[in-house]
Chain A
Amino acid sequence: MADEPLVLGIETSCDETGVGIVRGTTLLADAVASSVDTHARFGGVVPEIASRAHLEAMVPTIERALKEAGISARDLDGIAVTAGPGLAGALLVGVSAAKAYAYALDKPLYGVNHLASHICVDQLEHGPLPEPTMALLVSGGHSSLLLAPDITADVRPLGATIDDAAGEAFDKIARVLDLGFPGGPVIDRLAREGDPAAIAFPRGLTGPRDAPYDFSFSGLKTSVARWIEAKRAAGEDVPVRDVAASFQEAVVDVLTRKAVRACKDEGVDHLMIGGGVAANSRLRALAEERCERAGIRLRVPRPGLCTDNGAMVAALGAEMVARNRPASDLELSADSSLPVTETHVPGAHSHDHVHEVSKENLYS
């Protein structure tokens, strides 16, 4: 049991209600209910709409996952849940459900970090993570370079976006081009028919004195929007495919360049790419090319596991069980700004207890 724990994971940090079930590093079920269509007309995720949708979808999605996995909830070794970071109200629905579930089944509860889960999900695709693993996480909510010597206990942030997340830039450019929300898939599709070298858009934070692992996509976004507006103002047609390809190239060029550099600097021979933007075909292709040239093994999960899902939470939960990490307690909070260094949220009591004991030893 200990090295192949059966764990159910719940993810509600944004607009997907995800419930996954894994046995060790084997995926048994991955049920997702998405409210993305409801958000589309607002051009982004509306927190209250997401929270309401999570409440409706939560229990049916858990039941669907159990059915898909063909297991009984009584056989679970633990319940894992995204404790943060994410939208506060959305997280709270998942955390409350996970607590009730763990309590009713009398199973240990593990509140885990969303970003660490994005990395850990690759165990379901490519087997145990090498230690350390370098991870590039890119989505509508995050763009980070993380060094993970131990995914259950030690994740170190090397760099992150200083303004927009990469996925947000895709959404904003798609909006300027009237392509709808979310922007990633449609830009990826159009870019395949465009020329990535047609327009030289700027590469943010790539100067010699810039932070080597931080990202900035705000300047790029403004530059692309201006270029489009100038064309329109001149009464010319906007070459949508070329704009999409050139914009996308600017994003993935910076992402892969910095990720490969971080691997070299830190002497890490594996790069993992996760998050919704990891589904981007050009990002995958360029990363493959540059990693191969640098002698780095690239690990990218299939697109369905890159976007937010419950399987990734279950994957990290299973690792927590396998490595005997302390469980969370019933007071577990949803923490919308949980730092990435906190891979999980162990119960306060186990911690306090240690202090009490040591105090006694000191003064008795």
Chain B
Amino acid sequence: MDTATPAVTVALHDGDRVVAETGQVDARRHGELLLPAVDRVLAEAGVKLDAVTDVVVGVGPGPYTGLRVGLVTAATFGSVLAVPVHGVCTLDGLAHAAGVEGPFAVATDARRKEVYWARYEDGRTRTGEPAVDRPADIAERLAGLPVVGAGALLYREAFPDARGPEHVSAGALASVAAERLAAGRELLPPQPLYLRRPDAQVPKNYKVVTPQ
């Protein structure tokens, strides 16, 4: 599952292929949409949750409060089912699904006029840590490269060779994880990649509750 972008996406993977997948794009309703999506995917595959042997979650980077929805849901499943929870960089899922040959980059919308991005050698090989920057500040470095994802499509003036897919799919994310697990490679811990410090501002009148 992945909730790091406006897409809420869930898939079931049997080690060889994606068995079922569902998703919805709604940046404001991650909390409402995720569990029903899990339920739909399992129902479609005719499988109960306790048959799951590994949980894979997109760890971002992601700007949305929604990022935590996927992470806490995955961690809770892991605790109840007593199965491992693996993290995969959300950008890696997009790269995997991009189908681009040769070097390219992935960029998602970080809001505040910035993108989360990373460079890839190919669909399976990231060549650096994800970062957050203004499109104009990285346009030169990525000049001539295809750039995949909503962050590219949103800032076409900085990324002229912008391409889809726009959002990550859990199917791609699960495929990345299944490949890495099969190859005996380490996955990430299921911890969020925020890449930004929290806004350390105490809002005025925080949590004021005035019954009407």
B198 contacts A by Cβ under 8 Å = yes
Interface set, chain A 24-75, CB cutoff 8 A to B:
39, 42-49, 51-52, 54-55, 58-59, 62-63, 73
| Known interface pairs A51-B65, A331-B32, A341-B211; A73-B206 also in contact (CB < 8 Å) | no
The stretch among A84-92, A255-263, A287-295, A297-305 that forms the contact with chain B is A84-92
Task: Kindly provide the distance from the CB of A170 to the nearest chain B CB, expressed in whole angstroms.
Answer: 14
**Chain B contacts of A49 at CB under 8 A?**
198, 200
Number of interface residues of B (CB under 8 A): 40
| Known interface pairs A43-B202, A51-B65, A330-B39; A73-B80 also in contact (CB < 8 Å) | yes
Judge whether B202 and A42 touch: CB under 8 Å: yes
- In whole angstroms, what is the CA distance A62 to B34 when docked? 21
Residue from the list A58, A59, A87, A337 in contact with B206, Cβ < 8 A: A87
**Chain A contacts of B36 at CB under 8 A?**
330-331
| Known interface pairs A96-B69, A100-B72; A63-B202 also in contact (CB < 8 Å) | no
- Count A/B pairs, Cβ under 8 Å: 140
Judge whether B198 and A100 touch: CB under 8 Å: no
Mask, A112-139, CB within 8 Å of B = 1, is 0011000000000000000000000000
- In whole angstroms, what is the CA distance A157 to B212 when docked? 7
Tell me the nearest residue of chain A to B198, going by C-beta. A48
| Known interface pairs A93-B72, A341-B211; A44-B206 also in contact (CB < 8 Å) | yes
B20 contacts A by Cβ under 8 Å = no
| Known interface pairs A48-B199, A101-B76; A96-B212 also in contact (CB < 8 Å) | no
**Chain A contacts of B194 at CB under 8 A?**
52
| Known interface pairs A55-B71, A93-B68; A333-B209 also in contact (CB < 8 Å) | no
| Known interface pairs A92-B31, A93-B72; A59-B79 also in contact (CB < 8 Å) | yes
**Chain A contacts of B212 at CB under 8 A?**
157, 339
Task: Kindly provide the distance from the CB of B99 to the nearest chain A CB, expressed in whole angstroms.
Answer: 32
**Chain A contacts of B32 at CB under 8 A?**
331-333
Judge whether A104 and B49 touch: CB under 8 Å: yes
Judge whether A89 and B211 touch: CB under 8 Å: no
**Chain A contacts of B34 at CB under 8 A?**
96, 99
Task: Kindly provide the distance from the CB of B29 to the nearest chain A CB, expressed in whole angstroms.
Answer: 8
Number of interface residues of A (CB under 8 A): 59
**Chain B contacts of A45 at CB under 8 A?**
202, 206-207
Task: Kindly provide the distance from the CB of B211 to the nearest chain A CB, expressed in whole angstroms.
Answer: 3
- In whole angstroms, what is the CA distance A85 to B211 when docked? 10
Judge whether A88 and B65 touch: CB under 8 Å: yes
Task: Kindly provide the distance from the CB of B42 to the nearest chain A CB, expressed in whole angstroms.
Answer: 10
Judge whether A334 and B31 touch: CB under 8 Å: yes
Tell me the nearest residue of chain B to A58, going by C-beta. B72
Interface set, chain B 114-142, CB cutoff 8 A to A:
none
A321 contacts B by Cβ under 8 Å = no
Judge whether B65 and A92 touch: CB under 8 Å: yes
Tell me the nearest residue of chain B to A105, going by C-beta. B80
Judge whether B79 and A141 touch: CB under 8 Å: no
Q: List the 5 shortest-distance A-B pairs measured between CB atoms, nearest first.
A: A157-B211, A44-B202, A48-B198, A141-B207, A100-B76
* Additional 20 contacts, C-beta under 8 A, given A55-B71, A55-B72, A96-B72: A39-B202, A42-B201, A44-B206, A45-B202, A48-B198, A49-B198, A54-B72, A73-B80, A86-B207, A87-B207, A95-B31, A97-B73, A100-B35, A103-B35, A141-B207, A144-B209, A160-B210, A161-B210, A165-B208, A337-B209
